[in-house]
């Protein structure tokens, strides 16, 4: 049996770090929305007890390297855009954990086609892992076991549960396009968004390892709260986002990669407001008034921003992509 899905990226509209935990993790207070920048994932059950993963870039490795000003055959492109296909990839870890959890005798053959860059703070690896779990659950009839699947996802990574479907009774009306996460990221609460949000996202020719950013983090004595942002989203007050959005990891990320200030300035100069880092970076984004404004800003940024950057115009979507069965 074979299934397909399209894992989306995410953006952090708010990210505070209230405390460091005794287990070495940090407490987080974050509001995330998924966006329509998607990888493509195909998962097929096989009789052999192994995980076979192949991975590539869309539209091609050469095209993505070119956008970033890299020589496709050069070492820098390989380091930035190389995709591991062993257990360094969260998809492999997630499916191995699924096999152990449900005592699955067979394995999976997986094809992963990437659009979401790594080390960007956009949750690409976490989304791929979560959707691999959802695909495996669909194949083996475990899709209704929400609590078990969410616990399994949390064991893979803090962001992973965000991309799984929530139980139907946890979803308010209308459709949910955002989520509040606390704990180390595994405690999720749906957030109403009364209007679609449109973005332009920029990824520079550099990744930021999360561990390096957190090492430089100074936990605030008086942390901010996401309450104001959640209220603005719930009331559809896009204008209210400029005073309620923030990211505590911006300062350490800028210390490591000072050129991010130029990227944020370009976003702001194109009329996108507010603008900020997502996650631990290195991607940054700005909010547009509507889809037309996002497209105009996207074209302007591609024309005037001097540093090689992956620019994408996108919008808010559901974090859990649909799973389609392949009839072939």
Would you please indicate which residues are annotated as catalytic (active-site) residues?
10, 159
Residues with Cβ < 8 Å from 141, sequence gap 6 or more? none
3-state secondary structure of 46: strand
Q: Where are the beta strands (DSSP E) in 152-272?
A: 176-182, 187-192, 198-204, 246-247
What stretch of H or E contains 139?
A: helix 124-139
Cα angle vertex 10, ends 230, 170, to 5°? 55
- Residues 216 and 52: their CA atoms lie apart, in Å, by 37
Beta partners for residue 42, in sequence order: 4, 111
Distances (CA, A) of 211 to 121, 216, 261: 12, 9, 21
- Residues 53 and 11: their CA atoms lie apart, in Å, by 26
Residue 177: count of CB within 10 angstroms of its CB: 22
Distance linking the first and last C-alpha atoms of the chain: 9
Beta partners for residue 110, in sequence order: 43, 53
Closest listed residue to residue 65, CA positions, set 76, 52, 55: 76
Token pair of 118, please?
A: 């790594």
Q: Taking the mean position of all CA atoms in its chain, how far away is CA 131?
A: 12
CB neighbour class for 326 (10 Å; exposed up to 12, middle 13-18, buried from 19): exposed
């Amino acid at each position: 049996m074979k299934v397909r899905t399209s894992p989306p990226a995410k953006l952090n509209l708010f990210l505070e770090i209230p405390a460091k935990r005794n287990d070495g993790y940090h407490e987080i207070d974050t509001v995330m929305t998924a966006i329509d920048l998607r990888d493509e994932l195909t998962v097929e059950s096989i009789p052999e007890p192994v995980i076979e993963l192949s991975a590539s870039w869309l539209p091609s490795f050469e095209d993505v390297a070119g956008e970033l000003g890299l020589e496709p055959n050069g070492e820098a492109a390989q380091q930035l855009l190389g995709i591991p296909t062993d257990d360094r990839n969260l998809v492999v870890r997630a499916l191995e954990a699924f096999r152990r959890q449900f005592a699955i005798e067979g394995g999976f053959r997986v094809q992963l086609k990437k659009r979401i860059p790594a080390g960007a703070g956009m949750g690409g690896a976490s989304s791929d892992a979560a959707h691999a779990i959802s695909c495996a659950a669909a194949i083996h009839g475990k899709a209704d076991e929400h609590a078990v699947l969410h616990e399994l996802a949390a064991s893979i990574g803090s962001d992973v549960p965000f991309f799984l479907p929530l139980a139907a009774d946890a979803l308010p009306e209308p459709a949910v396009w955002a989520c509040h996460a606390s704990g180390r990221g595994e405690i999720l609460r749906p957030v109403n968004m009364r209007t679609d949000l449109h973005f332009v996202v920029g990824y520079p020719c550099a990744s930021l390892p999360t561990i390096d950013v957190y090492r430089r983090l100074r936990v605030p004595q008086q942390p901010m709260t996401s309450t104001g942002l959640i209220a603005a989203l719930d009331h559809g007050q896009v204008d209210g986002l400029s005073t309620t959005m923030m990211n505590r990891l911006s300062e350490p990320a800028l210390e490591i990669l000072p050129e991010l200030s130029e990227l944020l300035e370009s976003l702001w100069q194109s009329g996108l407001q507010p603008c900020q880092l997502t996650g631990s970076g290195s991607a940054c984004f700005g909010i547009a008034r509507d889809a037309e404004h996002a497209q105009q800003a996207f074209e302007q940024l591609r024309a005037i921003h001097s540093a090689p950057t992956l620019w994408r115009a996108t919008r808010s979507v559901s974090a859990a992509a649909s799973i389609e069965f392949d009839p072939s």
